[in-house]
Amino acid sequence: MKKPITSKTLESIGFIRDLGRIQTCNLLSRNQVHYSVMLRGHFCGCKYILFCYNDKINYKINYISPMNTIEDFIRDIPNFPKEGILFKDIAPLLQSPKGVRLCLEELLKLIEGQKIDKVIGIESRGFFFATLLAQKLNAGFIPVRKPGKLPYKTLTQSYALEYGEDAVEIHIDAIEKGERILIHDDVLATGGTAEAVCKLVEKLGGNIVQCNFIMQLNFLNGKDKLKGYDVKSVLEY
């Protein structure tokens, strides 16, 4: 009886380790070549599928396509952080200079031609591109954080979650009256967080020019909470 191949077996073969971030390892049903295993991996900015046959430890790499679109760098993690949530992970995007460049270019296109004084990044995944955007737009960067993280005097805005409440905070001197503000986060889901950030900005007298996101999850209708604002994203799901 042949032993089924596991991802550990495959990673013990040096060549396979070269594939780097192995995304999935599915044991497929038996076929004419006994157990066959399919792995998807990223290496040198390209997508690969690897087939491995355990009778001969015979492997073959199929080149699929270069990682050309931003979508290629977004990894879906089912049931994270809890059951039923499909988490849109931007870690592969951040690990790729090409991915970051592509995404930054697209985010800049969304705001093209508009003067911006400050870019707000929403903790924590909003920080990455908000700082890059701020540099490119010759604007300042403002972090909006979870309660208790900012060291100076803060303004707090709470918002409803499915069960319970959460809150966001901003430094009270972060915005001057009339400043033109771009709000940025990685994902627009239900819109509760971004709506709370809009309230903070307006309480400090800021003028919200746009709320932009790497992606919006349309089925959660986050845009409905941001009526009256210019809401844009690079990707829509």
Contact residues for ligand AMP (CB under 6 A)? 85-88, 122, 125, 185-194, 222
Minimum gap (Å) between residue 197 Cβ and ligand AMP: 10
Minimum gap (Å) between residue 200 Cβ and ligand AMP: 14
- Nearer to ligand AMP by C-beta: 66 or 147? 147
Residue tagged active-site, from 83, 112, 162, 165? 162
**Cβ(149)–Cβ(123) below 8 Å:** yes
Degrees, nearest 5: CA angle 86-232-206: 115
- Whether 30 is catalytic is no
User: Euclidean distance between the first and final Cα of the chain, in Å?
Assistant: 45
Minimum gap (Å) between residue 199 Cβ and ligand AMP: 13
- Nearer to ligand AMP by C-beta: 36 or 212? 212
Q: How far is CA 160 from CA 43, 168, 183, 188, in A?
A: 41, 11, 20, 15
The C-alpha atoms of residue 93 and residue 41 are separated, in whole angstroms, by 14
Q: Report CA torsion sign: 233, 231, 200, 133.
A: positive
- Nearer to ligand AMP by C-beta: 56 or 82? 82
- Nearer to ligand AMP by C-beta: 54 or 190? 190
Residue tagged active-site, from 125, 145, 169, 179? 125
Minimum gap (Å) between residue 6 Cβ and ligand AMP: 29
- Whether 125 is catalytic is yes
Structure tokens at 170: 């901003």
- Which residues participate in catalysis according to the annotation? 125, 162
